[in-house]
Amino acid sequence: MAAKKAKPGPAGKTLGSKKSWQGRLTADADAATAEFVSSLDVDRAMWKYDIIGSIMHAQMLSEVGILTKRELATIRRGLMSIADDIGADKLDMPVELEDIHMVIEKALIVRPGAAGAKLHTGRSRNDQVALDLRMWARDAAYDLVQGIVELQRALVGLAERQGEIVMPAYTHLQRAQPILAGHAVLAYVEMLQRDADRLADARRRINVCPLGSGAVAGTSLPLDRNRSAKLLGFDSVARNSIDATSDRDFLAELCFACATLAVHLSRWAEDWVIYSSTEFGFIELHDAYCTSSSMMPQKKNPDTLELIRGKAATAIAQLVGMLTLLKGLPLAYNRDLQDDKRFALAAVRPMMQSLAVAAGIAGTARFRAEHIAETLDAGYLDATALAEYLVGKGVPFRQAHHIVGSLVARAAAAGKPLAKLPLDELRAASDLIGPDVYKHLGAANVVKRYAPQGAAGPKQLRRQLNFWRKKLA
């Protein structure tokens, strides 16, 4: 079947008329092309940054004598009225205008006062877009850090309430050693802190002003780039105009930070999906963060945790998409970069949602202390402690490991925990074992004896909680 021919766009309906904007081109794009090249469906989210950037650009132009104070006032007044219209969803955004930057500029020009046509002096859409993206990314990094802090506070609160509960730690999803529940919770607080630090560090590289770089080579007009940067809250200006207009490393870095955050949230969600199952029964999730089954009335499904786990796929996909977009671009700006926002926005938005929901989950969940205690002796969690007891008696660790392995096999055959084996059976494996061994056996005794900084015992937990209280205050 032959493809339908696209209808040509109506003459005179684009940027009123678009022919006056497209230089050497003599024909308007047809409807299919106009829709294809438009990014309004995505970059309209940048409108506030475009308004702010335009106002401060005009301010700088006025200060260097390119605009009069009256022209500046007209431009500022016009841009603020456009902001009001966009906020009220009253501004027409025809697809033929291609992007939010052209929409705003067109709206400014048709408003009273001829000064609007001067706003683009010394500026290209290339450095304008780069500016808006950097301002958006700067705020996104900040907002993500705030979301991380709220989740950290919720997790620390849980560790304060129920952190002293003794539970198993796992390696290979097999019972390993006893720990305090708070220690497991704070492991994720540590991961999240690295995410926050990574975003804060990325924000330093984001916070560089590209304005004044023009399309690729700058301009002959006497722009004050440092003044523009100061007005817009940037730490510095981009040194190279070619790099300034084509650089999207800062977005790739933001996407990477989101992907790593997503992996950490996904690991936490997976743990709690497992812990909240009937088979484990370690954690009780609040009903507000669960759903039932459409068929099975007994079900309480941890859907929010599963969705957080699922959002990691989105974040990782956006990082791969961003890097793939950039990998083959020659210097400097290329239209491929129009799609950079699709990846960046789609990386940040799910992470903001996930963090908000995760904080609610963590703030309302509780450990099921009684149920955890019922099965705490299973899995011989104190075997390593028994080996270390023998090390304290002078036995080489590898020999102690072998001795305890044989005792575990004997206890398993008898259906008993190590702490229930009679002393004579323990001494049959090593005559260095004395009555004091029972102070070392049992999960509760083990956690009390953890010695190094950062271990899973009560002294270490108290120190960690004290650190996080101050850090997150």
Q: Which residues are catalytic?
A: 172, 293
Which letter does DSSP use for residue 283 in this model? Answer: E
Of 274, 268, 265, nearest in space to 315 by CA: 265
Q: Compute CA distances 421 → 212, 219, 415, 428, 432, whole Å.
A: 79, 85, 10, 11, 16
Report whether 172 contacts 186 (CB < 8 A). no
User: Angle at Cα 140 formed by Cα 137 and Cα 141, nearest 5°?
Assistant: 90
**In the block, which residue shows the tokens 């941890």?**
302
Report whether 155 contacts 472 (CB < 8 A). no
Question: What are the residues whose beta carbons fall under 8 Å from the beta carbon of 255, sequence distance 6 or more?
Answer: 315, 318, 319, 322, 343, 344, 347
Which amino acid makes up residue 82?
Answer: I
The two structure tokens encoding residue 295: 């068929």
Report whether 99 contacts 133 (CB < 8 A). no
Longest CA–CA separation in the chain, Å: 100
